[in-house]
Structure 1
Amino acid sequence: MENNTATLGAVGWIGTGVMGRWMAHHIVPLASPLYVYNRTKSKTAPLVSEGATAVDLPKEIAEKCRIIFTIVGHPSDVEAVYFGENGLLQHAQEGTIFIDMTTTKPSLAIEINKAAKKIGCDSIDAPVSGGDVGARNGQLSIMAGGTKESFEKILPFFQEMGKSAVLQGPAGSGQHTKMCNQIVIAGTMIGVSESLLYARKAGLDGETLVQTIGKGAAGCWTLDNLAPRVLKDDFKPGFMIDHFIKDMGIALEESKNMGLALPGLALVQQLYIALQGAGEGSNGTQALVKALDRLNSTHLWN
């Protein structure tokens, strides 16, 4: 596909955390120039060293750029970035395309889209899956909601960040797709965690186990990428428990609104909430094994 980015001017990026820093890194060659913002300004330093310019407020991004990516923490952070006094929508140039890659409420994505259209702009909700490894390696799966026209303009950027970028439907559809993704991950995570707990209690070698069952029907991303971390007692975040609890809460809220009961998801959320209450909210989602370990009083993990 022809690269359409050259005619769209400067590019802005808001949110340079664990994933955003790497996602922005991949689009540096396409952005001329790239402006970046993060609440903790020091986290923009790696991108500044690559040629990006750090700014002090989101509105400065809006005043300079007509393509703006955001990936922040919670729906309240998204609201502040877009609707706040120094936010994007109050200071945007006509024709700007906003791309929110935060996992947030589908209803908020629709609200942003409506507000953007009122000022002659457009928006795409484009949450991702793949964790810190996928972000670093440019191997994310990107789930987009919005118009085909805007999606195709932004696609060259998505192709630098991910191995897959698919337009799921109108505004909000990307977020709904991400909720489906998180529901699968929650179920997979408890399955992998219970398997590792069982294996350690039975005296099996964990690495041999993972290599063996990963070649059969149990094979999955969680087994390949997170189980090895658990076996090494590595609970550093690729994706934080605090953020996953937020995602599961959104999925359960949306499910309730649609008249759906998702008891498996609700159970996993409660286990993660117990970990959060024990001060482990900043650990990675693979720490779920600790909740099961404590539930069984087996003391196999610290």
Structure 2
Amino acid sequence: MEIAWIGTGIMGAPMALRLLRVGHRVRVFNRTPEKARALANDGAIVAADAAAAVAGAEVVFIMVSDTPDVEAVVTKAEPALKAGQLVIDMSTISPRAERALAARLKRLGVDYLDAPVSGGDVGAKEGTLTIMAGGEENAFERARPLFEHLGRRATYMGASGAGQMTKLANQIAVALALEAASEAIRFAQAGGLEPSRVLEAIGAGAAGSWQLANLGPKIIAGDYRPGFFIKLIRKDLRLVADAARESKVALPGLAMMASMFNSAAALGHDLDGTQAVAAVLDRLADVK
């Protein structure tokens, strides 16, 4: 297929690469050109701008950071879009914005899915992401063969915006599970236990989680290299807070985790992985 991929960052680049490696023709564009050019050796065609990337593509993927970024991509690409194309936004942004974008492109005869993902950079590289899609079901079925190269599971969640709402629910669970893992490790270390053995012991039982298994060893090693940036989880939790206010839902755990991640950013960890939230526990322990 002729595919356009806009956004070749820590998640987008390996996802686009997976589509290249199964034989699709992929045109890529990124605001930082060097990130797009890095895929040229793998056969990607580097486009000069978003409009050039999407022109003639059967499917257009967007994987950028935030709501204004997606809106800007759509605005720049819109003059080149034609009826019958499918646009799939795999970023994590506002559900309300996704509904507006879907309605806007529908007037052009362009199908639109919001299909955010979970699984981090490892999932992007290995094709094991979890994909949560909102939009028209026939558009989801059209995208399904491509999703199968990107993720282990793709689930149709309902109308436009439903994919993003599901992803935001995911982020609540992720943030709180990460805090639980961080506190358990710090508690074990303070009690004189070997933390890696604690992970082995409790990870096989009811305390087990993806965060404990995958980020626990990094917390123990002080390895804060990013698989998913602190700055991005902070953005995601702001989106959750906005949606919760609209729905009049109380989320006390969300408020705590927003504070923890904001503190991590204040300590200089905004461009580190989410596991750097563990550094905040060290600072809190020093408070007299």
| TM-score range for the pair, normalised by the shorter chain length | over 0.9
1:136 is aligned to 2:125: yes
| Amino acid across the alignment from 1:268 | M
Instruction: Give the equivalent residue in structure 2 for 1:171.
Output: 160
Counterpart CA distance in 1 for 2:273 and 2:21 is 31
Q: Any idea what the Cα deviations from partners look like across 1:8-46, whole Å, max 9, x if unmatched?
A: x51100111111111111111455421001111111234
Structure 2 counterpart SS, 1:235:
coil
1:53 is aligned to 2:45: yes
Instruction: Give the equivalent residue in structure 1 for 2:10.
Output: 18
Instruction: Give the equivalent residue in structure 2 for 1:117.
Output: 106
Instruction: Give the equivalent residue in structure 2 for 1:4.
Output: none
Structure 1 counterpart SS, 2:79:
coil
Long gaps (5+) in structure 2: none
1:92 is aligned to 2:81: yes
Change (3 A) 1:89 1:31: farther
Counterpart CA distance in 2 for 1:239 and 1:167 is 24
Instruction: Give the equivalent residue in structure 2 for 1:101.
Output: 90
Report how far residue 95 of structure 1 moved: 1.1
Instruction: Give the equivalent residue in structure 1 for 2:205.
Output: 216
Counterpart CA distance in 2 for 1:161 and 1:293 is 37
Instruction: Give the equivalent residue in structure 1 for 2:27.
Output: 35
Q: Any idea what the Cα deviations from partners look like across 1:160-182, whole Å, max 9, x if unmatched?
A: 01000000001100000001100
Contact 1:11 1:33 in 2 (8 A): yes
1:292 is aligned to 2:284: no
Report how far residue 186 of structure 1 moved: 1.1
Instruction: Give the equivalent residue in structure 2 for 1:182.
Output: 171
Structure 2 counterpart SS, 1:188:
helix
1:283 is aligned to 2:260: no
Instruction: Give the equivalent residue in structure 2 for 1:65.
Output: 57
| Off by >6 Å, runs of 4+ in structure 1 | none
CA-atom RMSD, angstroms? 1.2
TM-score by length of structure 1 reads: 0.92
TM-score by length of structure 2 reads: 0.97
Structure 1 counterpart SS, 2:112:
strand
Contact 1:36 1:54 in 2 (8 A): yes
Instruction: Give the equivalent residue in structure 2 for 1:199.
Output: 188
Report how far residue 292 of structure 1 moved: 1.4
Counterpart CA distance in 2 for 1:16 and 1:31 is 18
Long gaps (5+) in structure 1: 1-8
Counterpart CA distance in 1 for 2:250 and 2:67 is 23
| Amino acid across the alignment from 1:52 | A
| Amino acid across the alignment from 1:104 | I
Contact 1:89 1:115 in 2 (8 A): no
Counterpart CA distance in 1 for 2:148 and 2:225 is 28
Report how far residue 199 of structure 1 moved: 1.0
Q: Any idea what the Cα deviations from partners look like across 1:90-146, whole Å, max 9, x if unmatched?
A: 321221110000000001110110011011111000000001111111100000001
Counterpart CA distance in 1 for 2:197 and 2:144 is 40
Report how far residue 221 of structure 1 moved: 0.4
| Amino acid across the alignment from 2:88 | I
Instruction: Give the equivalent residue in structure 2 for 1:241.
Output: 230
Instruction: Count how many residue pairs are aligned between Structure 1 and Structure 2.
Output: 287
Counterpart CA distance in 1 for 2:20 and 2:135 is 24
Instruction: Give the equivalent residue in structure 1 for 2:36.
Output: 44
Counterpart CA distance in 1 for 2:83 and 2:122 is 36
Contact 1:207 1:228 in 2 (8 A): yes
